[in-house]
Amino acid sequence: MHRFVVLLVFMILLPLSAQAVEPDEMLADPVLEERARVISKDLRCVVCQNQDIDSSNAGVARDLRLLVRERLLEGDSNNQVMAYIQARYGDYVLLKPPFKPSTYALWGTPIALTLIALLFGLNIVLRGRRKSALPELTEAEERQVAKFIDNEKSGDPS
């Protein structure tokens, strides 16, 4: 039974580790292929959004992988390939976009949302503390409570 469970888990997780690069896309030169893989891990699939093109099965990702390999075969450096694809698809295609005015919202949104969540949480905690603090009793209320306690002790229900 234990082996069956291990085998089942392995079979479920195996497809998650598979790369989407098809054999017909791979370059014959292992050095160029490794460079293509390094570049592909830094490029975002524009369909899948938060997945690199190396592990995406989308048609656009395949086209980008082929374009990367084509540029490498033409003799471009890694930086030249990245610059070419960035010029063609914009900063969005980069998994780590540059920090510049057009990407400030991209970089600042997570920080802003975190601050908003912290302020919202702090507001809830402070509001809860204010509600839990009961107001002081007036002298008349204190006498009434004392009278009630005395009556309870003596067994007098009035």
Q: Which domains does the chain have, with CATH numbers?
A: 16-98 (1.10.8.640), 109-154 (no CATH)
18 pLDDT band, cuts 50/70/90, is very low
Q: Given a cut of 70, is residue 19 above it in pLDDT?
A: no
43/38 Cα distance (integer angstroms) = 9
DSSP code of 82? H
Three-class DSSP category at 134: coil
pLDDT at site 153: 82
Q: What is the largest CA-CA distance in the chain?
A: 102
Triad 111, 109, 122: Cα angle to 5° = 45
55/11 Cα distance (integer angstroms) = 18
**Does an H or E element contain 33, and which?**
helix 30-40
87 pLDDT band, cuts 50/70/90, is very high
pLDDT in tens, 36-61: 889 989 998 888 878 888 888 888 88
According to DSSP, the residues that pair with 94 across neighbouring strands are 43
pLDDT in tens, 103-158: 888 888 999 999 999 999 999 988 877 766 677 888 998 899 899 998 888 766 55
DSSP code of 51? S
Three-class DSSP category at 1: coil
